Structure 1
């Protein structure tokens, strides 16, 4: 079965982390989020995936190659201009092998989901739908476009953000298309499946089905969600066959050096070649490869970029530190602060910050 993974987004909400890599290639619990979702696709019986790339397209093929090491056949199609979700799907149509009536699974590459992909496909083929959408329930749907369905599961509307939504079901970013529907998406211009393709199918009376699902789902688009997703993978709340180690209270990758009295927990990840000094505490944080946390520093719910250095006694809570940053001793940053690559914070320069540096 063919699948398409949409991995072309720049991930501006995750800057500065995405200045050196696309969001779907950032390491979440030790490997790119794309690797987690490709492994789930493989285990669901999908054998061939076309990656629809754009921003920093080369890093995907450098990491995954032809896919054989991951039990898949992978191909890559690079979008030179942003064409929207529908345009990106249409752009890979010539690489799909299935016939007009065959199902094609479409994934957003920056979402973690525990969805039963086989059940979604079975729902699609069993109802004869043109498109079937994975739908998830959220506590407060006012921040999302919602997707109401009737008693038979047929989608009745696609509604933009509203103060009084009629349902808490939202589009979860995974679909099954009948191949022939992909071929009808216009070429040569941006197309949104959410605003054009799906509403157009409804207007034409074509069957679009919903698959409501209550399993794990998380959009990794913000730093807080990125940390949460990594933590959930490490602790096993979200299962992944691509997790590079056992489920537990922390994940320490090969080559990392952790002092005997350092405290690592809360689902934290310590990347390959990282170094954690004596008396340091890493709680729920993500340390990318080569990051250094010196003696006595405390890092909570934060992301520390590659080769960044966190000095002795530094306190970080809920912040994002870019690649190669150096934060000298005595600094304290909290509550959404972001430090961009190349910055050096001298000793004691910041006691508290929620700004970008």
Structure 2
């Protein structure tokens, strides 16, 4: 028997993702046509022996989250439950606080996945590695270059046994080119070190009267309090993957994640990809179109485009490397490149919306948003990068 825990955080986190997370909780933001955490749930549901999926976070259980959970349970025929923290408890505090729920039924092991990662989720391979050599903690790792590695948790491993010998979260100098993917497989015994941290916090009296250090004894940071402390003690091991992986921290990384997932649909969900048909819009590469969207036959879409619920795409529109969120309208002959069009937004006729054409990767800072809107007559206005980011919508400029 197996379980999975998805750490979804709360509204106090993910500030770099704003304003995109103002409309819905960040874990429900659509990436490649479906909510971000649906990719996690799909991967967990495919693991043989999976009995339950738990979401842990500090979001209020509002209507969008409740509706998503109900739909997920029906689609995957698995219990999918949300456990709300009484306060933000860090990456490990929620695991310890809800330990009885996680261990109910005596699972062999349980996966722990951060919601803000994009991956092909090699969970079955991790489970096989765990069963060959059982240890309390198994971390999924991948490689990065020296500069990129400074943005992540860095792992020094024994290349023969894959034991984690040293772990540093976001080091100031180069430690290792192996980084933590935020996807784990824990044995039930892994909760014992979390208990030790909790008890130590209580004993030290590091509560709210220690500002900036410990907001409460229940706050546990997996990376600093557990991985760093236990590295080199034969308890933590790493499973390396060469599959796709990215963090989703900002608009640019959401576009990159959408591109990765759309490419995977060729093998995992070909039914989600639009096909070019006579009399329909011209499809180039991987494109997702929600069934309720209305797309003019003369529109050209792709590659790497996701069109949401109730979107209207007018005649002659060109879309490339972009996400169009539900209810948006792209009027005739607009051009949208490397951008996210906000909910209910309108892009006027002959407008051009574009981010500088650089390769967006999870470790290259995204460029400033540049919005150019031009009319058929050639008049042009240039809006400040902060305008698009702060408003959450795109400008309207028509002839």
TM over 0.5: yes
**How far apart are 1:272 and its partner, in Å?**
1.8
2:167 match: secondary structure: coil
Retained in 2: the 8 A contact 1:131–1:209? yes
- Map Cα deviations across residues 48-71 of structure 1 (whole Å, 9 max, x no partner): 111002234433222121713223
Equivalent residue for 1:284?
321
- Map Cα deviations across residues 313-337 of structure 1 (whole Å, 9 max, x no partner): 22111399xxxxxx99655558686
Retained in 2: the 8 A contact 1:147–1:155? yes
Instruction: Supply the distance in 1 between the matched residues of 2:24 and 2:347 (Cα, whole angstroms).
Output: 21
Q: How many residues align?
A: 341
Q: Please report the RMSD computed on the Cα atoms of aligned residues, expressed in angstroms.
A: 2.8
Map residues 80-159 of structure 1 onto 2, 5 A cutoff: 80-97=86-103, 102-139=108-145, 140-150=148-158, 151-159=160-168
- Map Cα deviations across residues 140-163 of structure 1 (whole Å, 9 max, x no partner): 313323101002100001124346
**For structure 1, which runs of at least 5 residues remain unmatched after alignment?**
321-326, 349-357
**How far apart are 1:183 and its partner, in Å?**
4.7
Equivalent residue for 1:40?
43
Task: Choose 1 or 2 for highest CA Rg.
Answer: 2
Map residues 21-32 of structure 1 onto 2, 5 A cutoff: 21-32=24-35
Question: Are 1:176 and 2:185 an aligned pair?
Answer: yes
Inter-CA distance 94–331: structure 2 relative to 1 (3 Å threshold): farther
1:200 match: secondary structure: helix
Map residues 313-352 of structure 1 onto 2, 5 A cutoff: 313-318=350-355, 331-332=381-382, 338-341=388-391, 345=395, 347=397
**How far apart are 1:3 and its partner, in Å?**
0.9
Instruction: Supply the distance in 1 between the matched residues of 2:394 and 2:252 (Cα, whole angstroms).
Output: 24
**Which of 64, 67, 80 is 1:62 aligned to?**
67
Equivalent residue for 1:226?
254
Retained in 1: the 8 A contact 2:346–2:396? no
Retained in 1: the 8 A contact 2:140–2:183? yes
Inter-CA distance 347–171: structure 2 relative to 1 (3 Å threshold): same
Instruction: Supply the distance in 2 between the matched residues of 1:117 and 1:84 (Cα, whole angstroms).
Output: 23
- Map Cα deviations across residues 110-160 of structure 1 (whole Å, 9 max, x no partner): 211113211112212322211010011113313323101002100001124
Retained in 2: the 8 A contact 1:291–1:306? yes
Equivalent residue for 1:355?
none
Retained in 2: the 8 A contact 1:317–1:334? no
**Which of 38, 50, 54 is 2:54 aligned to?**
50
**Mean Cα deviation higher: 29-38 or 205-214:** 205-214
**For structure 2, which runs of at least 5 residues remain unmatched after alignment?**
199-216, 276-284, 357-365, 367-372
Instruction: Supply the distance in 2 between the matched residues of 1:343 and 1:281 (Cα, whole angstroms).
Output: 18
Retained in 2: the 8 A contact 1:285–1:303? yes
Instruction: Supply the distance in 1 between the matched residues of 2:322 and 2:393 (Cα, whole angstroms).
Output: 20
1:180 match: secondary structure: helix
- TM-score, normalising length: structure 1: 0.86
Instruction: Supply the distance in 2 between the matched residues of 1:108 and 1:266 (Cα, whole angstroms).
Output: 28
Inter-CA distance 39–334: structure 2 relative to 1 (3 Å threshold): farther
1:4 match: secondary structure: strand
Equivalent residue for 1:185?
194
Instruction: Supply the distance in 2 between the matched residues of 1:238 and 1:143 (Cα, whole angstroms).
Output: 31
Instruction: Supply the distance in 1 between the matched residues of 2:81 and 2:270 (Cα, whole angstroms).
Output: 20
Instruction: Supply the distance in 1 between the matched residues of 2:251 and 2:166 (Cα, whole angstroms).
Output: 31
- TM-score, normalising length: structure 2: 0.77
1:34 match: secondary structure: helix
**How far apart are 1:44 and its partner, in Å?**
1.8
**How far apart are 1:173 and its partner, in Å?**
0.3
